Structure 1
Amino acid sequence: MEGAAIVEAWARRPPGVVGPVSQPVNGMEPDGPDSYGGHVTGGERGADVGILPLDQLLTRAGAAVGRLRARTIAEHGLSATALGVLSALSRERALSHRELAARLGVTPATLTPVVESLAAGGELVRNRDSGDRRIVRLSATDAGRARLTAVSAEVSATIEGWLPQPPADLELLLRGYLCAVVEATGSTSPRYEDGPRQDGAETNG
């Protein structure tokens, strides 16, 4: 559904309908009232999300997209954290375990089993730092980068198939607003969750 039609459909929707009905993608059904586009009626589940305060609406929309994203990634045998690891290591080579955890916003302990699994699958390698042998650096392998590219493309295609696409002018406004929200909440540190950089560039940190 085009962006202009989304606005019109929302204005004309029947009472108790969360939003315009969307079709399942890859056999997945909407998660209920938190899934934008889901057709949910009756009782609390049919509550009109349009009357929620903006902060609550942002939270519910983000949570719904996050669940869809995590579930799509899981279909490819990865967790969102594992995909984040491969993404981070494709952009910044030879990160230490602690540096990698900071990039992803998780604790080093949380990261340990993810790193172990990716290393066992040949998708990352460990090497001693040449300047300080006490430090172990992690790097993505060619196999890890290839998996990142493939899975990221599938995830993006699935989510784009679910989400209503706004017109270009509205998308610019939405992007500007969401970037302002991220900045205002102090969440501007790098987070590697969305796959390889489109320009193919790498940074070192």
Structure 2
Amino acid sequence: MPSDEAVARFGAVLGELHRLLRRKVVARANRDALPEAQVEVLHLVRAEPGISGKEVARRLGTAPNTVSTLVRDLTDAGLLARDRDPEDRRVVRLALTEAARTRMADYAVHRSALLTEALATLDPPARDAILAAAPHLDALLTALRARP
């Protein structure tokens, strides 16, 4: 079992890697950064088109009125479409717009290029170890998602 110190360091590095990568990709794409909460909503909707606002709130562990505000802002920005559920008009279903899909694809291209460039600066064993960790990080993500 890893030490508490090793686990804390791992968590800190992951957090900083995420923040730095996000800032650099946004700068590289020459766009204003979306708030992290809006990005989370977009990722959920991309993974599950037609998800309800109520389900987004449950998954994010946030209040429905908070999600309503996020959805309104994303809709106003042209990144999210909301439609009433034909079977229950009280339910709002969410979908990405073409602008959101384009923006997310553009972000992915810039992120991949930035990571490729950074990985190229590492020695081959370090680069290989990092890339080999991806399936294990996916498993960790799955384990974390399964926990309440």
Question: Does the TM-score normalized on the shorter chain lie above 0.5?
Answer: yes
Q: Structure 2 vs 1, CA of residues 109 and 187 (structure 1 numbering), >3 Å: closer, same or farther? A: farther
Check conservation: 1:73, 1:79, Cα contact below 8 A.
no
Q: Percent identity over the alignment?
A: 27
Matched ranges for 1:27-106 at <5 A: 53-72=5-24, 75=27, 76-77=31-32, 78-103=34-59, 105-106=60-61
Relative to 1, partners in 2 of residues 1:85 and 1:129: Cα closer, same or farther, differing over 3 Å? Answer: same
Partners of 1:74 and 1:167 lie apart in 2 by 24
- In the alignment, is residue 137 of structure 1 matched against residue 96 of structure 2? no
Q: 1:152 to 1:59 in 2, by over 3 A?
A: same
* Whole-angstrom distance in 1 between the partners of 2:17 and 2:130: 19
- Mapped to 2, the partners of 1:74 and 1:169 lie a distance apart of 27
Give the paired residue count. 134
Alignment partner of 2:144: what SS?
A: coil
Q: Counterparts of 1:175-186 in structure 2 under 5 Å?
A: 175-179=134-138, 181-182=140-141, 186=143
Go from structure 1 to structure 2 and tell me whether the alpha carbon gap of 1:66 and 1:170 turns closer, same or farther (over 3 Å shift).
Answer: closer
Determine the structure 1 residue equivalent to 2:144. 187
Task: Say if 1:127 and 1:138, in contact at 8 Å, map to a contact too.
Answer: yes
Q: Distance in 2 between matches of 1:170 and 1:74?
A: 23
Q: Does 1:148 align with 2:104?
A: yes
Instruction: Report which structure shows greater RCO (CA 8 Å, sep ≥6).
Output: 1
What amino acid maps onto 1:158 in structure 2? L
Q: Which amino acid in the other structure matches residue 67 of structure 1?
A: R
Which residue in 2 is equivalent to 1:31? none
* Partners of 2:68 and 2:50 in 1: CA distance: 16
Q: Deviations over 1:23-45 (max 9, x none)?
A: xxxxxxxxxxxxxxxxxxxxxxx
Partner-residue secondary structure (3-state), 1:85: helix
Distance (Å, rounded) in 1 between the aligned partners of 2:25 and 2:56: 20
Task: Indicate how the Cα distance of structure 1 residues 177 and 79 shifts in structure 2: closer, same or farther if over 3 A, else same.
Answer: same
Match of 1:46 in 2: none
Give, in whole Å, the separation in 2 of the partners of 1:109 and 1:74.
Answer: 28
Superposition TM-score, scaled by structure 1 size: 0.53
Q: Structure 2: which 5+ residue stretches go unaligned? A: none
Question: Which of 1 and 2 has greater Rg?
Answer: 1
Distance 1:181 1:93, change over 3 A: closer
AA partner of residue 178 (structure 1):
L
Relative to structure 1, is the Cα distance of residues 92 and 182 closer, same or farther in structure 2, using a 3 angstrom cutoff? closer
What runs of 5+ residues in structure 1 fail to find an aligned partner?
Answer: 1-51, 190-205
Picking from 56, 67, 74, the partner of 1:111 is 67
